[in-house]
Amino acid sequence: MKHYEQACAIARALDIVGDRWSLLLVRELTLGPRRYRDLAAGLPGIPSNVLAARLKDLQAAGVITRRTLPAPTDVTVYELTEAGRALQPALSELLHWGLRYAPEPSQHAAAQPGWALLAAAGRPTALPAGQTCELRVGPEIFYLGSDAGTLTVRRGPAPDGDAVITMPAGTFYSLLTGQTTVTGAVRHATVDGEPEIARRALEPLAAAGAKPAPSPASPPARL
């Protein structure tokens, strides 16, 4: 890993997470622990040797850690440390900067539900504390809940959830990009459990991944 050798906190941070794929590895672990093969699937195009090297470097830097889940699972997973979780505000700012200023993805660009849900996490929600929803998009399963009035998202099921939503991928992405409403998304989904809980859980997803409208121009300053 090359270093900038600059007495600047930004440069020192980039010494750790500035290499290609490093921040995307942190992105993949934002919604919860993942196995090596899940990380490889979540980073299409990354060479196996590069993935192994980035994992090693981020572990050495204390950004991620590796552990084995207890029996009967006995699966090795990678997860963020406290230092890794502290990168979440920076990733959130990059996400919103990308929505506003980055070019639109090509029609051949890879897309995964977890990436899209990062734009909805932290948005205001009317979902009452303690009530949860499970969202299924193809083979992917996500837990939707609330924390202090904002949406929380994690990978995996919602045990004893109040509602389970099974939604086609096309409907899911249409909801995130603002091409369909929550009502339209529910109409094309299957909801088991409390319909109102399902609607409240989905509301923060509506247009979460849409490009923001341009800010109104500021009036010229008077001299």
What pTM value is reported for the model?
A: 0.91
Question: Any idea of the CA torsion for 145, 149, 151, 156, to the nearest 10 degrees?
Answer: -20
- Residues whose CB falls within 8 Å of the CB of residue 188, separated by 6 or more in sequence, listed in order: 167, 168, 171, 180
Average pLDDT over the chain reads 94
DSSP 8-state symbol, 203:
G
Q: State pLDDT tens for residues 81-109.
A: 999 999 999 999 999 999 999 999 998 99
pLDDT mean over 173-177: 97
Cβ atoms of 121 and 153 closer than 8 Å:
yes
Query: Per-residue pLDDT for 143 more than 60?
Result: yes
pLDDT-derived band at 73 (thresholds 50, 70, 90) equals confident
